[in-house]
Amino acid sequence: MKNNFKKINDYIVSKCYDLPIFKSEIKKNGVIYLKKTKLDLFSFLTKTIISQQISDRVAEITWEKYCLNIKEQNPRINDIPDQVFLKKVLDVVGLSKQKKNYIIGIYQSIILNKININLLQKMNDEDFHRSLIKFRGIGPWTCNMTLIFFCNRLNIFLNDDLVIKKVMSRLVRIEKKEFEIKERFSPFLSILTLHLWKMSQRILQ
């Protein structure tokens, strides 16, 4: 079932046997696929840091500006000749000083092999968190985003994501009952997270 997203979707629907509204919303979403990103680790982390604590639209515009200045649609660390060039790009993009420092720090760490993607991908989720979270600008949310969208781990739940929290609160009120997420929907919590994001456009209106 691991890579059969139709079967994963059926499994998630089956776990909503006593949650008719939740079940209906998942069915409206249809089958959700978890696709591998075209970005390397540095660019993925850069994009994720850019998106921290800003709206999706502003994050999208800022990322497009970054790519335009790198002159690549899917930039990679090898497209950046040195730290001076990176700093100039980040200045043009208009990031906060804090975010610029985070991204430059991650760039240095990858160049010096302090962040090694080959080693990270072999780690379990907990060790992955412990290894990556020690770098400035990378917290639990960024770690989980990386596990889902870069590593394609199937059982990651973003319980610290603001939209997810709002959707879950709304679903509890609609269903008129509390329900446990992790036990019920494991081992496919990543797909459930994507469902919650998608249905947020409807149930949070």
CA distance 9 to 13: 6
| Span 115-139, pLDDT tens digits | 998 999 999 999 999 999 999 999 9
Which of the listed CATH numbers 1.10.340.30, 3.40.1030.10, 1.10.1740.10, 3.40.190.10 matches domain 41-138?
1.10.340.30
Residue 47 burial by CB count (10 A; 0-12/13-18/19+): exposed, middle or buried?
Answer: buried
The whole-model pTM stands at: 0.92
Residue 1's pLDDT band, with cuts at 50, 70 and 90, is low
Q: What are the residue boundaries of the structural domains of the chain, listed by start? A: 5-34+157-203, 41-138
Q: How many percent of the chain have pLDDT more than 90?
A: 89
CA angle 185–159–136, rounded 5-degree value:
135
Place of tokens 């596990």: 147
